[in-house]
Chains A and B, each alone.
Chain A
Amino acid sequence: MLKNRLIPVLLLQNGLLVRSELFKFHQIIGNPIHEVERFNEWTVDELIYIDISTDDKYDLRRGDHKIRDLGDPLQILEAVSETCFMPLTWGGKIRTVDDMRARISRGADKITLNTAAVKKPELITQGAKVFGSQAIVVSIDAFRHADGRLEVFITNGKEATGKTPSDLARESEARGAGEILLQSINRDGTGEGYDLDLIAEVAHATTIPVIACSGVGLYEQYAEGIKAGAAAVAAANIWHFKELSDRGGKRALAKAGVNVRI
C-alpha cells in the first residue's frame, strides 16, 4: 500500500538557508548543502527546495560556512543532487521550459511553479508534455482574509490574484499538474498547526495529491493534515530546530494510524 509522505521544505535565499515567518521575516539558519546531507542520512521520504531570493545575488563565502564557493542556485542544485538519493523537487524563478530543463538536468525530479502558474499557466501544460505530469508541482500560497475568505497570493506572497486556492488547484490539474504544494501565508512560521479547512477544501477540489505545508509546530499536527485530505505532509522550520525530526514526525504519524515508511 502506498505510504503517506513526510517532507522537509528548505528555503534558499541568496545562497543561504533561511527560516520564514508569515512570508515576511527571514532568518539565516545554515548552509544549503550540509542540511541536505543530514536529511539524506536520516533517509527522509522526499525533499522540496525553494529558492525565494528576490535578487540574483548568491554568496556562500561567509566566515562561518567553510565550504566551496557556489555562485548561483543551479550550482547549489548540482551540489545538492550529489548527495540526495531521494526525490527532489526544486522551485523558484522558473518561467520557461528551458528553466525547467536546466533544473531537471541537474538532478531535480520535479519542479514547482508558483508565480508562473498564475501569470503563465500554459507553462504547466508545456512542462507536463515534455517532462510528464509527475514532474510538475503547482505551489499555491493561500492567504485567509479577516472575513475568512481565501485568496491566492504570488510573488513571494506579495501580489494578490483574486483567485481562490481551490479554483487554482482545479485549473492546474486540468492543465496537467501532477501535485499541489499548499502553503498558508497566515500560518507560515507560527507553529499553530495547519489550516485544516484550507487543506480539506483544496483536497476536495482535485484528484491529484495535495502536499500540506505551513504551521507545523508539533509532530502531532502532521496527522491532522493527512486526515484533512492531504496525501503528504510537509514543514520547514520544525526540521531545523528539533533533533531527529524525521523519526519524531514519523512516529507521531504512525501512532495516529497513518501508513508511513519507517
Chain B
Amino acid sequence: MIAIINYGMGNLRSVKNALEAVGGEAFVAENPQELERGDKIILPGVGAFGDGMTNLRSAGWVEKLNEEVGGKGKVFFGICLGMQLLASIGTEHGDTEGLSFVKGKSIRMETNGDQSLRIPHIGWNDVEITPESRLFAGMKNPQAFYFVHSYVLDADDKQLVTSVCNHGMNFAASVERENIFGVQFHPEKSHKAGLAVLRNFVNLPN
C-alpha cells in the first residue's frame, strides 16, 4: 500500500487516481500514525515551503517520517513542493528548516534577465534524463512533463540529480538517493510520461 500524506497542501485526489490507473494501491493518510500501514510514502503538494513545513511539523508528520523513512528505510517520494521539502533549508519567505533527506536548499528560480520567461514556470517542458535513473527506467530521452512552480531544489551533491530541465536556468527535475525520490513536475498531470514514472515508482521494491 502507498500512503499519500494529507497535510493540507494541494490536490491529493489526482495523485491517488493516477497511482490507481497504473495498478498501485493507495490511501490518503490523514494522520502520522497511518504511515505505518504504508510500504511506500508520497508527499505531494503545491504551495509555499514555510506553510508546508509548518503543517508537517504541527501535526507530528516530521518525527514519524524520520522513523518510517529515515529509520525503517521505506521508499519516500516527494512531488513538486514535496520534492523541495526534501531539502535541508527552504528560502521562500525567509529561511525554514526542511526534512533534510537531501542536503541542499530550495531556491527561487532565476530567469537571468530574459524578459520573455515568466515565473512561476507553468506548462509543459522537456526533461533530460540520466540513464541511471530508476524513476525514468525504460523511458526515451527527452520527455515533456507538466510543471507549476517558482522554487527548485538545489542539491549539494549533483550526483543525486537524475534529470534536468531548463527555464532560464538548468534545474533538477528529479533527485534520487537510496530510498528517497523527488520530482519537481507533476507526474499525475503529465499523461503517459507521468504515468510511466508513477508505474516505475509503484514497481520499486519496498
Residues of chain A whose beta carbon lies under 8 Å from any beta carbon of chain B: 1-3, 5, 40, 43, 45-46, 81-82, 84-87, 104-109, 131-135, 178-179, 207-209, 231-232, 261
Contact = CB atoms under 8 A, between A and B. Distances in A.
Ranked 9 nearest A-B pairs via Cβ? A43-B191, A261-B124, A3-B124, A261-B144, A107-B13, A134-B148, A2-B123, A87-B189, A2-B125
Contact of B195 (A1, A82, A85, A134): A85
A135 B47 CA distance: 10
Interface in B114-134: 117-118, 120-126
10 contacts: A1-B166, A45-B124, A82-B17, A84-B14, A85-B17, A85-B190, A86-B191, A109-B11, A135-B46, A231-B123
Contact of A104 (B11, B21, B148, B188): B11
B46 A132 contact: yes
Contacts of B123: 2-3, 5, 45, 231-232
B49 to A, nearest CB: 12
A237 B39 CA distance: 46
Given A45-B124, A86-B189, A207-B118, 17 more contacts: A1-B166, A2-B123, A2-B167, A3-B124, A5-B124, A81-B14, A85-B194, A86-B146, A86-B190, A104-B11, A106-B13, A107-B11, A109-B14, A132-B47, A134-B122, A135-B46, A208-B118
A1 B117 CA distance: 10
B189 A1 contact: no
Size class of B's contact patch? 20 to 34
Interface of B: 11, 13-14, 17-18, 21, 46-47, 117-118, 120-126, 144, 146, 148, 166-167, 186, 188-192, 194-195
A17 B154 CA distance: 45
Nearest to B18: A85
Contact of B122 (A40, A43, A85, A209): A209
Secondary structure type dominating chain A contacts: loop
A85 B189 contact: yes
Contacts of A209: 118, 122
B14 to A, nearest CB: 6
B4 to A, nearest CB: 14
A134 B121 CA distance: 9
Nearest to A82: B17
Nearest to B21: A85
Contacts of A87: 146, 148, 186, 189
Contacts of B192: 43
Contacts of B117: 2
B147 to A, nearest CB: 8
